[in-house]
């Protein structure tokens, strides 16, 4: 298949070039689990938006979704329908009633085999295609194949690559191996942005999550991401708080902004609002834009549409009015 022109991602900040591995910094990273869990549990009670403000936040959430299909039975037709939904994620009449137009999602995320299909379906838009790579979701295929998969997805037109780290490096505290792996994958991405998936549900402790987050940023990750969506435990608020505080620490020390992507299990509009509030509280307004924050989700969009309909009509619409394709 011929290579396709990559839709580059527009950034309002410099990419993360990475830095030399600083093991003293890594060793000093701790995570107070009880305090993190307590802070996360308080979030829902302290942050509540209603009516027009809630509708505005939900429209913001739509613009941050990586609309995703990662199924073994994906077909070109399914991906084309998903891309049509990415172009028009909310019904035109709903947007008109809310005084908004031109809304799209943040990206479309697919397996490598569907990258060219998605790129063609999104021609004429600024919506990037993200490809999951490196032996997703387990990340256990031979190393040279993992790196080659990145290169082939970039050549096919993927503007973003969601890679999976080797969890064993974290569990055995082999930080040099994790750094070297991430650094080589970052190099293979070239101009495509790399999102490092930590698979946090398999890392054991929040301290491991914090240290793995820091290592991946040192190695040049443009985003750090919670999960593949295939683990038993995916995105949670305590894990998110741990990761975004690592982002804040990295930005404070280096001046470089790194993005964050919670993925897996975020299916309700109310959950999206909690994550948006957390990002605003911990990192501020710059992290409420698609170049620094994404939701890895698909069913989330349908629930947001239903909530917007309820805002306008006082009634919840049937789920089949908001199909993904």
Residues belonging to the active site: 162, 225, 261
Distance in angstroms (rounded) separating the CA atoms of residues 291 and 115: 20
Distance in angstroms (rounded) separating the CA atoms of residues 165 and 142: 13
CB 134 within 8 A of CB 185: yes
Distance in angstroms (rounded) separating the CA atoms of residues 263 and 10: 22
Question: Which two structure tokens, joined as six digits, stand for 253?
Answer: 């020390």
Distance in angstroms (rounded) separating the CA atoms of residues 240 and 5: 34
Question: Which two structure tokens, joined as six digits, stand for 66?
Answer: 């990586």
Cα 16 from chain centre? 16
The three-point CA angle 267-46-315 to 5° equals 45
Coil, strand, or helix at residue 3? coil
Coil, strand, or helix at residue 65? strand
Distance in angstroms (rounded) separating the CA atoms of residues 158 and 155: 7
For residue 264, give the nearest of 136, 124, 148 by alpha carbon: 136
List, in sequence order, the alpha helices (H) in the chain: 23-27, 33-46, 51-63, 76-87, 92-97, 115-121, 143-155, 167-171, 175-189, 206-218, 237-254, 269-282, 299-313
Residues 6+ apart with CB under 8 A from 90: 59, 62, 103, 304, 305, 308
Distance in angstroms (rounded) separating the CA atoms of residues 208 and 202: 10
Going 304 to 306 to 308 to 311, the CA torsion angle's sign is: negative
């Amino acid at each position: 298949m011929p290579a396709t022109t990559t839709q580059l991602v527009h950034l309002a900040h410099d990419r993360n070039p990475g830095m030399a591995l600083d093991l003293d910094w890594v060793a000093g990273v701790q995570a107070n689990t009880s305090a993190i869990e307590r802070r996360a549990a308080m979030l829902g009670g302290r942050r509540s938006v209603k009516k027009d403000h809630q509708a505005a936040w939900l429209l913001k959430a739509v613009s941050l979704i990586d609309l995703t299909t990662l199924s073994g039975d994906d077909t070109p037709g399914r991906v084309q329908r998903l891309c049509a939904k990415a172009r028009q994620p909310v019904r035109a009449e709903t947007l008109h009633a809310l005084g908004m137009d031109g809304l799209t999602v943040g990206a479309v995320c697919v397996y490598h085999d569907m990258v060219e299909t998605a790129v063609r379906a999104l021609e004429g838009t600024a919506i990037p295609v993200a490809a999951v790579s490196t032996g997703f979701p387990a990340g256990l295929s031979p190393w040279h194949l993992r790196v080659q998969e990145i290169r082939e997805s970039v050549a096919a037109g993927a503007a973003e690559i969601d890679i999976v780290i080797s969890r064993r490096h974290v569990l055995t505290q082999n930080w040099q191996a994790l750094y070297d792996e991430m650094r080589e994958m970052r190099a293979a991405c070239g101009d495509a942005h790399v999102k490092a998936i930590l698979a946090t549900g398999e890392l054991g402790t929040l301290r491991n999550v914090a240290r793995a987050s820091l290592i991946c940023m040192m190695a040049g990750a443009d985003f750090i991401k919670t999960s593949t969506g295939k683990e038993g435990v995916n995105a949670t608020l305590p894990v998110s708080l741990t990761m975004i505080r690592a982002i804040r620490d990295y930005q404070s020390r280096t001046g470089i902004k790194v993005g964050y992507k919670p993925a897996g299990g975020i299916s309700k509009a109310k959950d999206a609002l909690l994550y948006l509030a957390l990002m605003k509280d911990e990192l501020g307004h710059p992290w409420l834009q698609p170049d620094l924050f994404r939701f890895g989700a698909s069913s989330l969009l349908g629930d947001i549409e239903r909530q917007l309909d309820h805002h306008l009509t006082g009634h919840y619409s049937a789920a089949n009015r908001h199909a993904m394709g």
